[in-house]
Amino acid sequence: MDALCEQYGIQRVSLLRRLCRVLGIQLLAKDYHLDFGRQQSRMPFSDEDIQNVFPLFKHRHPPASDAKKLYARGQQAMQMGHLREAYEFVAEAVNLMTSVYGAMHSELAQAMRLLAKLSYILGDLPEAMNQQHKATLMSERCNGLDHGHTIVEYINLAHFAFGNLRIPSALNLLYRARYLLLISHGERHPLMAQIDANIGVILFAVQEFDYALKFLYSAENLLSMNGEPKKLKSAMVQHIIARSQAARGDFRSALAAEKETAAIYEHLFGPNHEKTQESSDYLKQLTQQAVNFQKRMMDATAGTKGANLAQFLPLTPQPSLGAILDALNLLNGIIIISMTPNTATTNGSSSQEESAAVEANKDAAHEPGKPFEEAKGEQAEMALD
């Protein structure tokens, strides 16, 4: 048992949870001392800890064959870029599943999740959040609070909540998803990297740079440990790390992180790609900012008269909502498809129209100079610990 846990990084509480689910045993909710050695004579469990024993049986739900066909057609239409057509197919599949399964079913939750993603891509952010909220509640009741599908629903709901400018709600959902994943599967699960990256990006957006860096470095370590195939998420995380370090005035760490981003883009896309050029341009900006910041610091140490603290702080632009949403889209596997004008007229909004809708939401919800709400740093530190 000890060798298994050490080799694969498995938590003992995760093994206990899985064993109870397989055998149908309900234990008393308390802190069990599972890290016991041979010298410990007292067992971690007693008869009083077993609250209930329930039977496990195999069963089969009535299939909604027509709804599944419509759902598959919606997925195919989405892959081809026909978003409006895909939305109609999936919406009809949801109606048929409701007629066959009733108001609560795990397959219905998955269909509503896809419906929420389609609404998000088409630019209808309130509808996307509404559909995803229903899918999350349905998954909680059908699959359980600590089920993998429920954790994924929390991540998607946090994403759409941020798109609707509900920043504290998005952070709370991600903290909850992280806590549930930590209990059920442990710190080294690949999904933990996605959650930490989402938290880090949102904290960067609300300018909590110190707490953002803790989550971003955690996400980068997990991505490297689990071996991300194309390293696109690693490049995005390194870029956000570079911007966070630059905002803190640590330009040496910022340059190192952005060089890693540029190396990944050049390896994947070549030196002439748009992503590679953007990273190279930002490297030049960081270098110039580092030189200017060093000059201001030298003037400060020389005792320049009339100088105040504000003029020595690093000058970094505030992140836009569109840039943060693009980062979250990449981390959560949502691709905004660029369509031709004819296709956009036939199938729905284009990517430019979606950006305009996002900007309209941002301008209507915030005052000038305050693009985001403030998040509590204590919650971030508590979640990381």
Output the pLDDT for position 297.
Answer: 76
Give CA–CA dist 153/131, Å, rounded.
Answer: 11
Q: Which residues pair with 27 in a beta bridge?
A: 50
Q: What's the rounded mean pLDDT across residues 49-53?
A: 88
pLDDT at 89 over 60: yes
Domain match, 285 and 362 both:
yes
pLDDT at 369 over 50: no
Domain match, 117 and 161 both:
no
274 alpha carbon, distance to own chain's centre: 25
* Complete DSSP assignment for 185-208: T-TT-HHHHHHHHHHHHHHHHTT-
Domain match, 311 and 379 both:
yes
Domain match, 78 and 119 both:
yes
Domain match, 16 and 93 both:
no
Give CA–CA dist 385/378, Å, rounded.
Answer: 11
- Domain carrying residue 125: 60-144
| CA nearest neighbour of 380 among 228, 184, 244 | 244
Domain match, 321 and 224 both:
yes
pLDDT at 372 over 80: no
Q: Are 96 and 67 in contact (CB under 8 A)?
A: yes
Q: Is the pTM of this model over 0.75?
A: yes
How many structural domains are present in the chain? Answer: 3
Query: Does a structural domain hold residue 213?
Result: yes
Give CA–CA dist 1/109, Å, rounded.
Answer: 37
Give CA–CA dist 183/180, Å, rounded.
Answer: 5
pLDDT digits (tens, 9 = 90+) for 249-267: 888 999 999 999 999 999 9
Mean pLDDT of the chain: 81
If one compares 296 and 187, the residue with the highest pLDDT of the two is: 187
Measured CA angle at 295 (ends 289, 301), to 5 deg = 135
Domain match, 230 and 362 both:
yes
Residue labelled with tokens 């690093």: 314
